[in-house]
Copies of this chain bind each other. A is one copy, B any other.
Amino acid sequence: MTPRRTFKETLAHIIFDYNTVPAKLFDLFLIGAIVLSVIIVMLDSVPGIHSAYGGVFYGMEWFFTIIFTIEYGLRIYVASNKPRYMTSFFGIIDLLSILPTYFSLFFPGTQYLLVIRFFRVLRIFRLLKLVKFVKEGEYVRNALLASSRKILFFLFFVLVTVSIIGSLMYLIEGEAHGFYSIFEGVYWAIVTITTVGYGDITPQTILGRALAAFLMIIGYSVIAVPTGIVSAEMASMNEQLHREIAKIDTCCRVIEHDHDAKFCKKCGEPLKGSAGPSSGKEQ
């Protein structure tokens, strides 16, 4: 803690930073409170526990909610760019994490939505200085983003397929076998093509089972598509990364290059080592 800071600056540092002892303690306390409050919400939903400790839990819920409300207020107060914080991912999550308790005064039951607080624990990655973890997150996110269009296109086809096969199934099996409407048929088709297979609605006729078998074989084959897309994307990323690492030890350091050369004229490697001086002489 640097003593020169104003109170507001110190507070901002403790709340938003994570590299000094007080800031770490604040984050640790926060994560503990979040996990504890989520566990309380979950336990409170168990009828036996609720009837015994419902009162205690109700008090603790309000205790945590008031603490988190104060914290949310402080975050807005100390944020240098208030609108940016309030519209950021964590800003929205912070708000959503306190609203359900207030709503539960008017709409009983909504307090269970408090589990959204769990998202706040993502801050733990920051606390643990697991910057690398954040990198991994970005890696996964980038791979998913890069393949999102392909996956969306693919999902659209899946949607059309389950609609048509679900309707056919409704025609074939009918209400007698649990297919009360096309919606049940589509639900069954989704349960089947994703290989979840609850078994709460299943075809009973020969024709229905043949169609189901067809859908399963289809699902078996097409499950390969999103996997293939993401795998290929990640392999590309890995390769790029490896190539960058591989370029470190090149022969280019011993050859005398032209002053305007950016790549070794013998091996084609970019001349990173000589980039500094030569870049100054760029024409």
Contacts and interface: CB of A to CB of B under 8 A. Distances in A.
Interface string A241-283: 0100000000100111110111111111110000100011011
A109 interface: yes
A172 to B, nearest CB: 10
Interface stretch (A1-9, A77-85, A157-165): A157-165
Contact of A112 (B182, B261, B267): B182
Interface stretch (A11-19, A20-28, A212-220): A212-220
Contacts of A202: 198, 200
Given A153-B133, A167-B115, A175 B216 contact: no
A98 interface: no
A249 to B, nearest CB: 11
**What's the number of copies of this chain in the assembled complex?**
4
A221 B232 contact: no
| Residue among A110, A160, A167, A168 with most chain B CB within 10 A | A167
Contact of A192 (B196, B199, B221): B196
A136 to B, nearest CB: 4
A170 B47 CA distance: 12
Interface stretch (A54-62, A64-72, A142-150): A142-150
Contacts of A180: 46-47
Contacts of A239: 236, 239
A145 B109 CA distance: 42
B282 A266 contact: yes
Given A118-B164, A233-B238, A282-B255, A136 B150 contact: yes
A88 interface: no
A209 interface: yes
Nearest to A257: B265
20 contacts: A45-B167, A112-B167, A115-B166, A133-B149, A139-B150, A140-B154, A140-B225, A191-B197, A196-B197, A197-B197, A199-B200, A220-B226, A227-B230, A231-B232, A231-B234, A255-B279, A256-B282, A261-B265, A263-B264, A263-B266
Return the 6 tightest CB-CB contacts between A and B, nearest first.
A263-B268, A228-B230, A196-B197, A198-B199, A232-B234, A199-B199
Given A118-B160, A133-B152, A193-B220, 18 more contacts: A38-B163, A41-B182, A45-B167, A45-B182, A45-B183, A46-B182, A140-B153, A155-B217, A187-B212, A194-B195, A197-B198, A199-B199, A220-B226, A228-B230, A260-B265, A261-B265, A263-B265, A263-B266
